[in-house]
Amino acid sequence: MDTKLIFVRHGQSLANTEKFFAGHIDVPLTDIGLRQAEKMADFLKSFPISAIYSSDLIRCTETARPIASHFGIDFIRDARLREVHAGIWQKKGFDFLNASADYKVWRTCTTDFRPEGGENMRDLWERVYASVAEILEKHKGETVAIVTHATPIRVLKTGWVGVPLSSLSQIDSPQNASITVVNYKENGKAEITLDSENSFLGALSAAPTTQM
């Protein structure tokens, strides 16, 4: 029996509108982000969700809350589902970062390159994968929602589509409050059935976004 994981990127956050790298910095959703979360939760009512996991950062917990309300279950916070830790680049504006040679190298995904005080993409993949593996083991045959961030979904997607982690720059970022549905087979193979789906947001899908 397949296990269905629904990966949700958080709604629009203050970092998205102000265009800075949040990483592990705690920033809330905007009013638009809160409305996106409600729309997304309403769409998810058609899925038989039995458990909800979320990054412990507020932009994810605020996104998870309406899902939990719709299904009448509590969500479980897991710090391993956080965005990549960008060290000294956190809270820096993207205009500033894009002028940095090191940042450009990191964005093209030299897998083992890390900013000072931060993580590289292999670090991120290992902690996110560990969380997902535990969820798969605990919820075999169920449908589970996982509320997380853009880069965790992207690093996982390298495995779903069968490309090396070093090819991460080729993986598009999911949109705010979008869902990516992945069926995990008993043999361990994963099949994407919905990819960054956000048509249910209507006009809210056009809200400005940034990746991290």
Amino acid at 96: F
Of the residues 10, 62, 85, 197, which is catalytic? Answer: 10
Rounded distance between C-alpha atoms, residue 197 and residue 194, angstroms: 6
CA distance 163 to 149: 20
Order of all β-strands in the sheet with 49-54: 75-77, 49-54, 143-148, 3-9, 179-184, 190-197
**143-148 and 75-77 strand pairing:** unpaired
Pairing of strands 3-9, 179-184: antiparallel
Q: What is the dihedral of CA 125, 29, 172, 159, to 10 degrees?
A: 30
| Beta partners for residue 183, in sequence order | 4, 191
Q: Are 11 and 36 in contact (CB under 8 A)?
A: yes
Q: Is 10 a catalytic residue?
A: yes
| Catalytic hit among 38, 62, 83, 197 | 83
Reply yes or no on whether 83 is catalytic: yes
Which residues form the catalytic set? 10, 83
